[in-house]
Amino acid sequence: MPRACCQPKGLARISASCRREYALEEEHSELSNVERRVRALETVMTQKGYIDPAALDVLIDTYQTKVGPRNGARVVARAWVDPAFRERLLRDATAAIAELGYSGRQGEHMIAVANAPGRHNVVVCTLCSCYPWPVLGLPPVWYKSAPYRSRVVRDPRGVLAEFGVTLPASTEIRVWDSTAEVRYLVIPERPTGTEGLSEDALAALVTRDSMIGTGLARAVGET
């Protein structure tokens, strides 16, 4: 079973300098007119003291990594404990996800891909930033950035290593390209030693990045 590296150097690089680089490049080359106006408004409001950038960052991070991905985590946990649901999820992800009450814009056409021993899936949108909002919430900045979108296709193993994920050389890495027509949800491998956990406890082990493929599900006791 693949393992996650202990975070330090690789993950620090991707989460700090690389992600700032990704965001900077995106700001200058990938923003739409609406996004530029929003960014300009945010700058003016910050300069006038109407908003606190740090508080705004915390709010965005909450929706990116906690509130939104909880839906997807519940989908994954159900797939881990219910073989029939897992089969339906892999056959028709849109319908199976809707069984749990999650549907809507950006989630109309879903495909679930499952990690397994010897196979790891990772998702990207090479054209823009297509992302399954109903199950993962807001897309992280790095997912929308040009460097991630180009590099993960050319060098998925290297990019995963920067996120702290080290896979055996024999592991096949499949890169899935989201489009306006279809979006993907990765079902990470269930961590070992979780046989006695409840569905809610299992959902707590599922991270946003593990459902994109740039991370693994947490081990028991890992925070």
Annotated catalytic residue, options 5, 15, 103, 129: 129
Annotated catalytic residue, options 130, 145, 178, 210: 130
Is 125 catalytic? The answer is yes
Q: How far apart (Å, rounded) are the C-alpha atoms in residues 223 and 212? A: 19
Helix (H) or strand (E) holding 33, with range, is helix 33-47
CB 29 within 8 A of CB 168: no
Q: At what angle do helices 19-29 and 146-154 cross, to 10 degrees?
A: 120
| Of the candidates 167, 165, 169, the residue with the CA atom closest to the CA atom of residue 6 | 165
Annotated catalytic residue, options 18, 125, 145, 210: 125
Annotated catalytic residue, options 6, 17, 128, 150: 128
Q: Which residue has the tokens 């949800």?
A: 185
Distance set, CA 107 to CA 71, 131, 179, 180 (Å): 12, 8, 11, 10
What are the strands, taking DSSP E only, across the chain?
Answer: 3-4, 110-114, 119-124, 165-166, 172-177, 183-187
Q: Which two tokens stand for residue 171?
A: 């592991």
Q: How far apart (Å, rounded) are the C-alpha atoms in residues 209 and 69? A: 9
Is 5 catalytic? The answer is no
Q: Where in the sequence numbering do the catalytic residues fall? A: 125, 128-130
